[in-house]
């Protein structure tokens, strides 16, 4: 609300004061004014006058309409009409530079003037871009969504690449941008950019299994090349591909997948470029604009705007949507009024050798690897680091992870045991993804496909990191799944909702030390033997903490020692656990149980047989939820001798975690 009040007051003053100075810029294009003026000009009265007009055109949702000459002066009536139309969001878009150009202009004026109104408008535009992004990382042409081809993931005319360029500048704290964002917003822009890169990689088109380039539009569901206007058929695009490649080449210390994508796209651009052809523009005897292409060995290479998906052959199209092999076979209106060839992609080809040369070499010591998003490490992707680790190493491998938000699914494979993942700061080194049961949609067992981090390598260690499933409270969605033995998770945040932490594998043993684990329902579940010491177990709703499925002949299931069970005041009905399978075993020893723990303590999950077959125990717990007076009769209050059985040695077969971390 503060933003709207601030802008409203400013605009009222603007309409009263009037008087914008536009004399120097009326003959220039809006794009030229945004991108090509001398830096000092953006602090002038003339620039501020244009910035005030940009504010008038911004809609309440944060975006702008397209094809507007923002630098043209407005009458008082036009200003009032724009203020009245601010709730109209239907035509807000990123097409033809819209929203992108306005945000860049405001940032440049703010940098010179420090007028907070311009910064607020920029941040409102940023919120619009973040909201418009699809969960798969792409951006539609229009948001709110409009029916038709406007919903496709749009690379055409730099739409999505413009958005990602802004996000990149924010993430890197670009001095050219001149606007800093708060920590929370920065985390969101980093996630959005990483998701955008993921979408780019998924949409890169393959011909007979070989990566090539990209189309102007891709279907937002299937990622396949998609049709737009009648003469814009599904095809490969040289201009769009070059713009994407230029963006990817700006990523510091790119992942191996990004490198492969760039290599393939550049190979394709080299293969499809057209040499010895020059465009000439002229007027006919009737005064019509025309163009033709003539042979010229000195001409810069050209790329066709549209190429067949099957064989890369250029094609041309009239408004009837019929492909033609020659530009001379389409109407004069389409021939002269559309950019069918472009030399712009040469920039990508020129930059490629420099990019190739700049790639850093990895550390000579294969047992010590650094992952950093800012390019200061050996890899920018955690999974890439794992993929390049030695299989079944004799010595432990340490992967140090610098602060950042790593939006990726991590899989520590069975052949990658003895890896330590050490974060720089547990609250700032964040591994996150957003898969859920309904999101992956792989049948009745979809839950097990949702982990952000899946560990199958024995003797894995995670320390000083946050592992989260960020999908929200939408049902089963695992943050961390451990199907391995000898694993130590310490000083970590494990964050989610339902089914946050899955611990599995008969005979597998794991140790969680000084961790925060959050969730709603059954958020610690599985059949492994897992010890939790000095952890905070935070319930986010009235429900169940544990759902063990301990095998019948396994002596220990989930054991909590010296832990704190916490929740917000409004949460007041949480059970310690319920049996996922009949022989479930869960014990709390010397823990502090908050008032949210129900007096009965445990639930049988409507399984009467589980009351005699399962084992739920407590020993010397404290706190408002620790009273055993009204506990279910089938739970156990341990004696001193019984409690002694729950030693690290008995449960895990080791004296200290060092035995697992050698």
The CATH code of the domain that includes 187 is: 1.50.10.20
The strand ranges marked E within 247-396 are: 277-283, 289-295, 303-304, 316-317, 323-324, 341-342, 368-371
Strand partners, 574: 597
The pTM assigned to this predicted structure is 0.65
Residue 361 has pLDDT above 70, yes or no: no
Nearest to 246 by CA among 162, 156, 139: 162
CA 442, 446, 451, 454: dihedral to nearest 10 degrees?
-80
Query: What is 95-120 written as a DSSP string?
Result: GGGTTHHHHHHHHHHHHHH--HHHHH
What confidence score (pLDDT) does residue 19 get?
42
State the pLDDT confidence band at 4, using cuts at 50, 70 and 90.
Answer: very low
341 located within any domain: no
Nearest to 316 by CA among 331, 296, 330, 301: 330
- The total of structural domains in the chain comes to 2
User: Please, which residues have CB within 8 angstroms of residue 195's CB and are 6 or more apart in sequence?
Assistant: 133, 135, 136, 137, 407
Long-range own/partner contacts, residues 517-524 (CB < 8 A, 24 or more apart): 518/493, 518/494, 519/545, 520/473, 521/497, 522/498, 522/546, 522/547, 522/578, 522/580, 523/496, 523/497, 523/498, 523/499, 524/500, 524/558
Q: How far apart are CA 259 and CA 269, in angstroms?
A: 15
Q: How far apart are CA 15 and CA 543, in angstroms?
A: 56
Residue 565 has pLDDT above 80, yes or no: yes
Q: How far apart are CA 436 and CA 447, in angstroms?
A: 7
State the pLDDT confidence band at 358, using cuts at 50, 70 and 90.
Answer: confident
Q: Tokens at residue 286, please?
A: 């009737």
320 located within any domain: no
Low-confidence winner among 7-11, 70-74, 268-272, 329-333 (lowest mean pLDDT) = 7-11
Residue 12 has pLDDT above 50, yes or no: no
Mean pLDDT of 514-526: 98
Residue 532 has pLDDT above 80, yes or no: yes
517 located within any domain: yes
Q: How far apart are CA 294 and CA 281, in angstroms?
A: 11
Residue 1 has pLDDT above 50, yes or no: no
Residue 9 has pLDDT above 80, yes or no: no
Continuous segment of H or E residues that includes residue 159: helix 159-171
Could you give the percent of the chain with pLDDT greater than 70?
A: 96
Q: How far apart are CA 382 and CA 380, in angstroms?
A: 7
515 located within any domain: yes
Continuous segment of H or E residues that includes residue 55: helix 45-57
Say if strands 397-401 and 368-371 run parallel, antiparallel, or are unpaired.
parallel
What's 129's DSSP letter?
A: H
Return mean pLDDT, the chain.
92
The active-site residue, picked from 522, 534, 569, 609, is 522
State the pLDDT confidence band at 23, using cuts at 50, 70 and 90.
Answer: low
What confidence score (pLDDT) does residue 498 get?
97
CB neighbour burial string for 392-410, b if at least 16 within 10 angstroms, e if fewer? eeeeebbbbbbebbbbbbb
What confidence score (pLDDT) does residue 364 get?
56
Low-confidence winner among 286-290, 303-307, 442-446, 487-491 (lowest mean pLDDT) = 286-290
Burial of 508 (0-12, 13-18, 19+ CB in 10 A): buried
CA 139 vs CA 155, 158, 563: distances in Å: 9, 11, 44
**3-state DSSP call for residue 37?**
coil
Structural domain boundaries enclosing 510: 368-659
Residue 145: CB atoms within 10 A of its CB come to 13
Residue that terminates a domain, selected from 203, 237, 268: 203
Q: How far apart are CA 128 and CA 92, in angstroms?
A: 9
Residue 518 has pLDDT above 60, yes or no: yes
Q: How far apart are CA 596 and CA 197, in angstroms?
A: 43
Q: What is the CA radius of gyration of the chain?
A: 30
**3-state DSSP call for residue 239?**
helix
Residue that terminates a domain, selected from 141, 174, 203: 203
Burial of 24 (0-12, 13-18, 19+ CB in 10 A): middle
Residue 496 has pLDDT above 90, yes or no: yes
User: Please, which residues have CB within 8 angstroms of residue 642's CB and are 6 or more apart in sequence?
Assistant: 617, 619, 636
Residue 48 has pLDDT above 90, yes or no: yes
The active-site residue, picked from 499, 534, 609, 640, is 499
What confidence score (pLDDT) does residue 509 get?
98
239 located within any domain: no
Q: Is 425 a catalytic residue?
A: no
What confidence score (pLDDT) does residue 5 get?
47
Q: How far apart are CA 583 and CA 560, in angstroms?
A: 18
Q: Is 88 a catalytic residue?
A: no
User: Please, which residues have CB within 8 angstroms of residue 350's CB and are 6 or more apart in sequence?
Assistant: none
235 located within any domain: no
Mean pLDDT of 350-369: 77
563 located within any domain: yes
CATH number of the domain enclosing 536: 2.160.20.10
216 located within any domain: no
What confidence score (pLDDT) does residue 283 get?
85
pLDDT tens digit sequence for 389-442: 999 999 999 999 999 999 999 999 999 999 999 999 999 999 999 999 999 999
199 contacts 137 by C-beta, under 8 angstroms: yes
State the pLDDT confidence band at 53, using cuts at 50, 70 and 90.
Answer: very high
Helix axes 45-57, 76-84, angle to 10 degrees: 40
Residue that terminates a domain, selected from 167, 185, 203: 203
What confidence score (pLDDT) does residue 25 get?
76
What confidence score (pLDDT) does residue 591 get?
98
Instruction: Give the ranges where 388-466 is alpha helix by DSSP (H).
Output: 437-440
pLDDT tens digit sequence for 199-238: 999 999 999 999 999 999 999 999 999 999 988 899 999 8
Residue 20 has pLDDT above 70, yes or no: no
Mean pLDDT of 650-660: 93
Residue 447 has pLDDT above 60, yes or no: yes
State the pLDDT confidence band at 24, using cuts at 50, 70 and 90.
Answer: low
What confidence score (pLDDT) does residue 3 get?
47
């Amino acid at each position: 609300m503060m933003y709207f009040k601030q802008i409203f007051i400013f605009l009222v003053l603007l309409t009263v004061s009037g008087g914008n100075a536009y004399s120097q810029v009326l003959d220039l294009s809006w794009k030229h004014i945004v991108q090509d003026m001398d830096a000092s000009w953006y602090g002038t009265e003339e620039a501020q006058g244009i910035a005030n007009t940009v504010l008038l055109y911004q809609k309440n949702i944060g975006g702008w309409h397209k094809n507007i000459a923002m630098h043209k002066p407005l009458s008082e009536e036009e200003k009032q009409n724009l203020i009245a139309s601010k709730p109209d969001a239907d035509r807000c878009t990123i097409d033809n530079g819209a929203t992108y150009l306005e945000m860049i202009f405001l940032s440049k004026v703010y940098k010179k003037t420090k007028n907070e109104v311009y910064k607020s408008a920029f941040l409102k535009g940023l919120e619009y871009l973040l909201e418009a992004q699809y969960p798969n990382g792409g951006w539609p042409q229009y948001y709110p969504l409009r029916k038709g081809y406007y919903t496709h993931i749009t690379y055409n005319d730099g739409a999505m690449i413009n958005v990602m360029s802004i996000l990149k500048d924010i993430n890197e704290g670009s001095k050219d941008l001149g606007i800093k964002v708060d920590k929370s917003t920065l985390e969101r822009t980093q996630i959005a950019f990483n998701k955008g890169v993921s979408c780019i990689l998924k949409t890169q088109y393959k011909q007979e299994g070989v990566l090539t380039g990209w189309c102007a539009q891709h279907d937002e569901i299937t990622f396949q090349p998609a049709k737009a206007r009648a003469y814009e058929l599904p095809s490969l695009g040289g201009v769009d591909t070059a713009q994407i490649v230029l963006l990817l080449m700006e990523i510091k210390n790119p992942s191996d997948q990004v490198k492969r994508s760039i290599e393939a796209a550049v190979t394709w651009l080299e293969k499809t470029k057209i040499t010895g052809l020059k465009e000439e523009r002229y007027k006919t005897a009737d005064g019509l604009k025309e163009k033709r292409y003539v042979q010229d060995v000195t001409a810069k290479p050209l790329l066709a705007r549209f190429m067949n998906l099957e064989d890369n052959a250029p094609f041309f199209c009239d408004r009837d949507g019929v492909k033609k092999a020659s530009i001379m076979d389409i109407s004069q209106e389409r021939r002269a009024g559309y950019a069918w060839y472009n030399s712009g992609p040469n920039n990508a080809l020129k930059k490629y050798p420099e990019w190739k040369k700049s790639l850093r070499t990895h550390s000579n010591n294969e047992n010590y690897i650094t992952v950093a998003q800012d390019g200061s490490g050996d890899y920018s992707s955690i999974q890439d680091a794992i993929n390049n680790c030695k299989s079944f190493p004799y010595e432990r491998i340490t992967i140090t992870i610098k602060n950042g938000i790593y939006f990726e699914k991590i899989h520590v494979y069975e052949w990658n045991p003895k890896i330590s993942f050490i974060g720089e700061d547990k609250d700032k080194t964040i591994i996150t993804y957003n898969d859920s049961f309904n999101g992956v949609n792989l049948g009745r067992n979809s839950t097990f496909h949702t982990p952000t981090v899946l560990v199958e390598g024995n003797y894995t260690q995670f320390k000083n990191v946050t592992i989260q499933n960020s999908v929200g409270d939408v049902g089963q969605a695992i943050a961390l799944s451990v199907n391995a033995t000898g694993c130590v998770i310490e000083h970590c945040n494990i964050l989610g909702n339902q089914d946050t932490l899955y611990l599995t594998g008969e005979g597998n043993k794991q140790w969680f030390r000084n961790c925060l684990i959050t969730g709603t329902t059954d958020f610690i579940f599985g059949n492994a033997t897992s010890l939790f010491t000095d952890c905070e177990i935070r319930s986010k709703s009235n429900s169940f903490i544990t759902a063990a499925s301990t095998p019948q002949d396994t002596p220990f299931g989930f054991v909590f020692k010296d832990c704190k069970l916490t929740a917000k005041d409004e949460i007041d009905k949480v059970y310690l656990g319920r049996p996922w399978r009949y022989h479930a075993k869960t014990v709390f020893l010397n823990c502090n149980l908050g008032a949210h723990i129900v007096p009965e303590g445990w639930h049988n999950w409507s399984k009467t047989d589980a009351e005699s077959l399962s084992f739920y125990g407590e020993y010397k717990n404290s706190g408002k939820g620790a009273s055993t007076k009204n506990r279910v009769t089938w739970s156990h209050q341990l004696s001193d001798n019984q409690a002694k059985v729950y030693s690290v040695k008995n449960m895990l077969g080791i004296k200290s975690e060092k035995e697992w971390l050698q």
